[in-house]
Amino acid sequence: MGDLLGVAVLGAGHMGADHIRRLDRVVSGARVAAVADPDAERAKEAVAGLSGVSVHTEVEAALGAPGVEAVLIASPGPAHEEALLAAFARGLPVLCEKPMVPDSTGALRVVEAEARLGRRLAQIGFMRRYDAEYGRLKSLLDSGRLGRPLMLHCTHRNVSSPPGFTSAMLIDSSVSHEIDAARWLLGQEVAAVTALRPRSSSGAPEGLLDPQFVLFETEGGALVDVEVFVNCGFGYQVRCEAVCETGSARIGDDHSMLVTTRGTAREEVPQDYLVRFADAYDREVQAWVDATRHGRVTGPGAWDGYAASVVAEAGVRSLESGGTRTPVALAPRPELHAGTGR
């Protein structure tokens, strides 16, 4: 195992367990060296059948376990800041699932802590940058073949929301992916956010404002609209259409199977993000492992995580104010991150 990157996985829930499987069975060049989760039984279940893995209930114990050379954070968002700072203190490279830190103040502390180190250690898990369709759309927009991008129309639907999901989380958890995707695709920061809500769906839990319609204005004058509907009931759908000066391009329609039988045709709709973006997650983690083994950090960084948190907070304020246009104010960008991100 000496040639394999030893990874400590923090969090053994739905996302963490899938990353443990990915590191063990899909990704080359790495192995799971330790797992930490407050639920020891859940952690043991996630690593059942794996050898050489230590199981812990505390983050520090996992980070200090034998063979740990890198960290993958898949715990709930509020636990990310402590885990990131603990990894930084040990000089361990990190792949952290989004949101990097849910609140912008904590996210900025992470950015500043990394800047004090003078080197990048964190990659943030905005996996859409590794999706093949998003990659093709990015290349097309960068080529200029369709002229200047004017608008992005985005759709983000889930079958149902998990217990405890709040109205704010539609923006700071679900729409955080669209925030990063828009910044990356357009190469522009978001300047203002307006969050509107129609009448809530009868399928939404009582008190949940679902669906929502979120509008971003970018510093370059583009508009981005996002329909987020986390209790649509029928499937997981993510789509994005870029409207440019001389043409448009849409992605997100080619991930289902068409079944024809007995005079009917039925198109299957993915039920989970781990199905829709399975390849993107695989490519993301493989790229992280490859870069880490060579002493590099690539992909979206701490600044991207911070920017997403600031924009999301502005969106939540707009939602809570009844749809007031809310400006976005970012802190000065550290020199360490001057050439990274979007």
CATH code given to domain 132-272+307-327? 3.30.360.10
Segment 109-166, tens digit of pLDDT: 999 999 999 999 999 999 999 999 999 999 999 999 999 999 999 999 999 999 999 9
Cα separation, 127 vs 304, in Å, equals 12
Q: With beta carbons less than 8 A apart as the criterion, state whether 60 and 92 touch.
A: no
pLDDT number for residue 264: 77
Edge-first strand order for the sheet with 30-36 is 54-56, 30-36, 5-10, 70-73, 94-97, 122-125
**Sequence spans of domains, the chain:** 5-128+279-300, 132-272+307-327
What's the whole-model pTM score? Answer: 0.93
Place of tokens 């956010």: 193
Both tokens of residue 174? 């679900």
216 pLDDT tier (thresholds 50, 70, 90):
very high
pLDDT number for residue 281: 96
Q: Bridge partners of 151?
A: 223, 243
Is-same-fold flag (5-128+279-300; 132-272+307-327)? Answer: no
Segment 267-307, tens digit of pLDDT: 667 766 767 889 999 999 999 999 999 999 999 999 999 99
Report percent pLDDT > 70 for the chain: 93
Q: Which sign does the torsion angle of CA 179, 313, 79, 16 carry?
A: negative
pLDDT number for residue 253: 83
Domain 5-128+279-300 has CATH 3.40.50.720: yes
Is pLDDT of 1 > 60? Answer: no
Q: Bridge partners of 326?
A: 193
Q: Higher pLDDT residue, 114 or 260?
A: 114
Averaged over 37-45, what is the pLDDT? 97
Q: What integer best gives the mean pLDDT of the chain?
A: 94
pLDDT number for residue 311: 98
